[in-house]
Amino acid sequence: MVGKPAVFVDRDGTICFDKHYLADPAGLEFIPTVVDGLRKLTKAGVPIIIVTNQSGVARGYFTEGTLVKIHKELVKILEKQGVSILDIFYCPHMPDAGCDCRKPAPGLLIRASKKHGIELSKSYVIGDRMMDVELAHKVNAKGVLVPEPGDQCGTDKEITASKEKPDFMAGNFSEAADWALSRLKQKV
């Protein structure tokens, strides 16, 4: 049985502004066009799964319990806006931990695929960093890069330094969602 495609979305810098180790749900601040783009995906019936590195847990900045509270609030806010998040997978480890779940390692996507019957090679990863594109390519998915507002210079440097190239470079999240949806519809 062939699985269904999904759209995997990074959290910090993609869905909400990167607050550098966000430790309080009250600090969630959504990036413009994100809710619109996520709503389009939801209306099209595309499973949305958040995948995020959260080394603040290993660094002791917040607990996994606090992280769960942040994610519950994130889902609650998005549900009120007509967005359905299927699941959230996170890596709580330090960058040098050598785990299989810290992006760009594919562990989070593999776990999501097994749990939800996702066909990774038909899926998309949307994120603000080249590690999100690299993650996509490790499982033969498409990588969509959408720089966090105000960070175009940092994104340009990452692209130049990387061997990988995004499958699509979006100007904003809604545009990224439209691009993924247009390709998903072609495969139906």
- Helical (H) or strand (E) element with 125: strand 124-127
Domain that holds residue 140: 32-150+164-187
Is-catalytic flag, 10? yes
Q: Compute the distance between CA of residue 63 and CA of residue 145 in angstroms, rounded to an integer.
A: 29
Q: Which of 132, 120, 122, 170 has its CA nearest to residue 51?
A: 132
Q: Is the pLDDT of residue 180 over 90?
A: yes
Residue with tokens 């609650």: 76
User: Does residue 3 sit within a domain?
Assistant: no
pLDDT of amino acid 163:
80
79 assigned to some structural domain = yes
Amino acid at 74: L
The answer to whether residues 175 and 38 touch, using CB atoms and an 8 Å cutoff, is no
Q: Phi and psi for 14 in degrees, rounded to 5?
A: -120, -55
**Residue 6 falls within a domain, yes or no?**
no
Residue 23 corresponds to which amino acid?
Answer: A
Name the pTM for this structure.
Answer: 0.94
Is residue 10 included in any domain, yes or no? no
| Six token digits for residue 145 | 């890069």
- Pair 166, 145: CB distance under 8 Å: yes
Q: Which helix (H) or strand (E) holds 36?
A: helix 34-43
15 lies in some domain: no
Residues 61-97: pLDDT tens digits?
Answer: 999 999 999 999 999 999 999 999 999 999 999 999 9
Q: Give the number of domains in the chain.
A: 1
User: What is the predicted pLDDT for the residue at 153?
Assistant: 56
pLDDT band at 154 (very low <50, low <70, confident <90, very high): low
pLDDT at 138 over 70: yes
According to the model, what pLDDT value does residue 188 have? 44
Among residues 12, 87, 132, 167, the one annotated as catalytic is 12
Mean pLDDT of 24-50: 96
In a domain, 158, yes or no: no
Average pLDDT over all residues of the chain: 93
Instruction: Give the SS3 label for residue 87.
Output: strand
110 in any annotated domain: yes
Report the amino acid identity of residue 38.
L
pLDDT of residue 56: 94
